Amino acid sequence: MKAAAFEYVRPADLAGAVKALAGMPGEAKPLGGGQSLGPMLNLRLARPKLLVDVSRLESMRAIEDRGSLWRIGGAVTHSAIEDASLPGGEPLSSVARGIAYRTIRNRGTIGGSLAHADPAADWPLALPALGAEVVIAGPGGERRVTAATFMHGAFATALAEDELVVAVEVPKLSAGARWGYWKFCRKTGEFPEASAAVLLDAQRKVARLWVGALNGAPQPMEALAADLAQRGGLAASEDAVSRALERVAPDLDPAQRRLHITAVRRAVQQATE
Ligand SMILES: Cc1cc2nc3c(=O)[nH]c(=O)nc-3n(C[C@H](O)[C@H](O)[C@H](O)COP(=O)(O)OP(=O)(O)OC[C@H]3O[C@@H](n4cnc5c(N)ncnc54)[C@H](O)[C@@H]3O)c2cc1C
């Protein structure tokens, strides 16, 4: 199938993009790398009257060192993050490197991935685990939400129809911080069937463990993370993970459950070895 007819604009700046979106509420959509929106248009699962191309907005394409954090523009591609040297933000590059394959990464953007909110996608899992904030712009100005609360469910987010993800801000890790990230993909380049992310940063008193590729948004496993911080790898016993998973994702079938338990345990192992 081919996409239904739509208008296309490429505003020169963020204000122009916000104005274009606000001018056709509910009928205009931002265009990032088009890696998810393209197929949705072609299948006519999305039928916007206007596409507002934000992929070349300079203000959304920058990766900036802001002292204690990295600010990544919403239109920065996965491959730009993969190729960047980000001291204190190393997990960002390694997560980017594991997304799909290079041709997809060359176009897909971090903002598009968050806004699309596929439950199995990498950024909606990794960014909450890293304690990131999402910077959003709309007709009312700029606002921020934590990455942990940005995704509301499968393909549902905190964004209003006329809002854009302009950037994500990711706190830098301390020198001794440990990161673990594991995902099971049936084939290289495919979305994972189970995924987990762990951050242990004792200096900043941070311990986070998130599980992804669920039926809805990725979920935190807070008690397990606290236990991990206190007792090291002991907390990641099969029983402990299984109980924690039951609390956040009781609807998994036995095969999914097994994969998720193992993904969590391997991410923990990476972070504690
Ligand atoms: C074959 C294939 C395999 C993939 N595998 C993976 C994988 O393993 N892991 C993974 O994480 N992802 C994967 N992806 C997804 C891909 O990496 C992109 O991140 C994703 O397609 C969305 O990014 P995009 O920039 O292309 O957004 P688009 O396709 O342009 O847009 C997606 C949605 O987000 C909205 N949008 C775009 N930019 C913004 C913005 N700045 N602000 C607000 N809304 C915006 C659009 O209106 C649309 O609703 C895969 C995609 C494909 C096609």
Q: What are the residue boundaries of the structural domains of the chain, listed by start?
A: 7-53, 58-171, 178-272
- Does residue 260 have its Cβ closer than 6 Å to ligand 1? no
Give the residue, out of 9, 14, 27, 37, with the most ligand 1 atoms within 8 A of its beta carbon, to mutate for a pocket test: 37
pLDDT at 233: 67
Domain 7-53 fold is: 3.30.43
- The alpha carbon of 38 and the centre of ligand 1 are apart by a number of angstroms equal to 9
pLDDT at 30: 98
pLDDT at 199: 97
Write the CATH number of the domain with boundaries 178-272: 3.30.390.50
- The alpha carbon of 81 and the centre of ligand 1 are apart by a number of angstroms equal to 15
pLDDT per residue rounded down to tens, the chain (273 residues)? 789 999 999 999 999 999 999 999 889 999 999 999 999 999 999 999 999 999 999 999 999 999 999 999 999 999 999 999 999 999 999 999 999 999 999 999 999 999 999 999 999 999 999 999 999 999 999 999 999 999 999 999 999 999 999 999 999 999 999 999 999 998 888 899 999 999 999 999 999 999 999 999 999 999 999 998 888 766 778 999 999 999 999 999 999 999 999 999 999 999 988
- Does residue 6 have its Cβ closer than 6 Å to ligand 1? no
Ligand 1, atom 11, lies closest to the CA of: 121
pLDDT at 39: 93
User: What is the pTM (predicted TM-score) of this model?
Assistant: 0.96
SS3 assignment for the chain: CCCCCCEEECCCCHHHHHHHHHHCCCCEEEECCCCCHHHHHHCCCCCCCEEEECCCCHHHCCEEECCCEEEEECCCEHHHHHHCCCCCCHHHHHHHHCCCCHHHHCCCEHHHHHHHCCCCCCHHHHHHHCCCEEEEEECCEEEEEEHHHHEEECCEECCCCCCEEEEEEEECCCCCCEEEEEEECCCCCCCCCEEEEEEEEHHHCEEEEEEECCCCCCEECHHHHHHHHHHHHHHHCHHHHHHHHHHHCCCCCHHHHHHHHHHHHHHHHHHHC
- The alpha carbon of 224 and the centre of ligand 1 are apart by a number of angstroms equal to 31
As a whole number of angstroms, the distance between CA 167 and CA 171 comes to 13
- Does residue 208 have its Cβ closer than 6 Å to ligand 1? no
Write the CATH number of the domain with boundaries 58-171: 3.30.465.10
- The alpha carbon of 86 and the centre of ligand 1 are apart by a number of angstroms equal to 22
